[in-house]
Amino acid sequence: MKKVIAFDLGASSGRAMVGELSDNRITIREIHRFLNEPVLIRGTLYWDVLRLFHEMKQGLVKAKAEGEITSLGVDTWGVDFGLLDGKGRLLENPVHYRDLRTKGMLKAAGERISLEELYHITGNQLMEINTAFQLLSLVSDKDTLDRADTLLLMPDLFNYLFTGKRYAEYSIASTTQLLDAKERKWSEKVIKAMGISETLLPEIIPSGTIIGSITDEIKDELNVASINVTAVAGHDTQSALVAVPAREKDFLFISCGTWSLMGTELDSPLIDEKSAGYNFTNEGGFGGKISYLKNLTGLWLVQESRRWWEKEGNSYSFSELEKMAESTEAFQSFIDTDSEEFALPGNLPERIREYCRKTGQKVPETPGEIVRCINESLSFRYRTVMEEIADCTGLTYDRLYMVGGGINSKLLCRMTACACKKEVVAGPSEATVYGNIALQLIAAGDIENLTAARSIIGQSAEISIYQPMEQESWEAAYQRYKAVTG
């Protein structure tokens, strides 16, 4: 029975999960959980990467009680990075994608290369948080870039800290807006346009590559045996996609958490005028698959509202907020969940009220009304993107697969089924962890391929089905939502 560790780092927390393959099922167990809290210093928002790595090492220590661990894999969010100097030292803590340094960088990039050409090379959704625009914000800071020898995206940085090896795993590289989506290599033209050196970017390796083992220094420090390090699909969305229990070739998915990533799986990039107009991204995955998707705001809106209410002295659990939302009247107000005023931390409830005032809607006052507004708006946003995907691919889809922590919101799952008029297959909630573990087992030869992995995960995890209901009222509300959000 092979045991491996998945380190899964999200925007607010991280965990070490032990996975075990036995009798054609994967069992998972959390052995260590830790906070991931960004730190604001003199106007810059940083990730506390040294603390995160310390916590990951504590995960290895705790794993000793589990028996022999053969492998570990790391997945994280996309686009952010650390810079190493020529001696392999980290120049500074990685900067958070919500930092303000990229404000205006999309326009600045358009003065160096047309945004149309940039999209047609990279196939990436144009978002100012992307790595290319973060780097562009550093071009005027010659001190930092002149000292930088290697850029490592977040999962690659942790793999480096474990092994001393510098690589760029394919899925995480595809989030940068620096990769030629069709050639599947760094784009010389884009890199030159951004004003950075091509030598800054390491060799790209396929998802699921065993890159080495933990260093002797770590083995001695923690008193652990040798453990292989597998470059799983480092972008958590792509690890999650491995765990979608779809049997059909063409399917829709939502990886739902702080962000919602919605799309379909293709064999090759889909980059054309229609895709550009809708601003879809083509993200690389395991086996060279392409996730044709859009990055959407997800349950960040509920999470940040909850944090604000706590600051006001009112602590609510997520289940309490859902009950409050269910007890309020339906379809009273809607928001564009991806509108820029909702992107930054702070008093989101008041920003939602102000949006509703400006658009002439009933203003949601109570936490329940706010949460209902968010969930209905999210489900309608999914409907809009679903229609865009069908328009671009020319395909129809029988059902919608939802995975990730967001499916713990039964309210959101039910609303999504109703809004999208599709059967929703929800699960696994731990899709990213299952996918991370499955890719390690594929790399070790214990699972044959992606199809086998999805079948095994489908047998291993809890799956729930939601059917659409009350179609006439939901359809009428969707038309009102479109009129409000434009």
Residues classed as catalytic: 236
Give whole-number Cα distances, 25 to 29, 300, 446, in Å.
Answer: 13, 32, 12
Provide the sign of the torsion angle of the four alpha carbons 432, 438, 444, 448, taken in this order.
negative
Unique residue bearing structure tokens 């509300």: 477
Residue burial 66-97, b: 16+ Cβ < 10 Å; e: rest: eeebbbbbbbbbbbbbbbbeeeeebeebbbbb
- Read off the tokens for 444: 């070790």
Q: How many residues does the chain have?
A: 486
Give whole-number Cα distances, 174 to 79, 104, 425, 434, in Å.
Answer: 9, 22, 27, 21
Give whole-number Cα distances, 126 to 11, 184, 280, in Å.
Answer: 21, 18, 8
| Phi, psi for residue 231 in degrees, rounded to 5 | -80, 85
Cα(180)–Cα(188) distance, integer angstroms: 9
Q: 79: which residues sit within 8 A by CB, 6+ positions away?
A: 97, 129, 130, 131, 134, 153, 175, 176
- Read off the tokens for 69: 């661990």
The candidate with the shortest Cα–Cα distance to 439, out of 73, 168, 16, 17, is 73
- Read off the tokens for 85: 């100097």
Cα(108)–Cα(62) distance, integer angstroms: 47
